[in-house]
Structure 1
């Protein structure tokens, strides 16, 4: 029996240390400059605008309105934490918040009031691509 186990160990190859998944965003805290930040993911954003979406792969993606009024996002995978990105753009009034509408496991819509006072939205399709901002 011991020989069989030793052979099985050799057949399975050397064991590799598991790589830990990045920590979740963590609690939000406010600083003296009246901006908020995530304890684990940092970032600087308007308080009350943070939205967390759990993607189909079970890892979180965060959306916030940054100090320049653009929508920022950051997400993690099993092994990686991306940098903050303002690629979604937009010009949102933070006092009106950021609305996240989850449409399915793979699609969602972000909505905000733009600098023109109208509601705008951006849509994430099932393959992960985003549309341009459009007025509601």
Structure 2
């Protein structure tokens, strides 16, 4: 009886070991498949929005730190304006939509107005940021899923 119990214990250990190997291989294969699917996705639209969000966040941080001199804010405003040129190419499927074109045009007009007369204090930067944020919010309400 002892030998059959020992053999049954060995078989259970082998099955458990094979189960763990199968589980590990399955996890690795799943991760590889998910990464392959993600690599096929176009990250350009997300990237444009992330960069614009980072520059708007830097402007908010400047306001919180009372660092609102033109030398602190102009680089971020210029970067926002440059990135605004990439919105239509990034969202090519919306390029022909008149509402989308109007939102992008309004954003560019706000940024152009801010850059033509740069804010010189934190109140001006805050007002410009609210104007820019309003344009972003309007577009996101219409098109963000």
Q: Which has the higher strand share?
A: 1
Higher relative contact order (CA 8 A, sep 6+): 2
TM-score (norm 1): 0.30
Q: Which has the higher helix share?
A: 2
TM-score (norm 2): 0.29
- In our comparison, the structure showing a higher alpha carbon Rg is 2
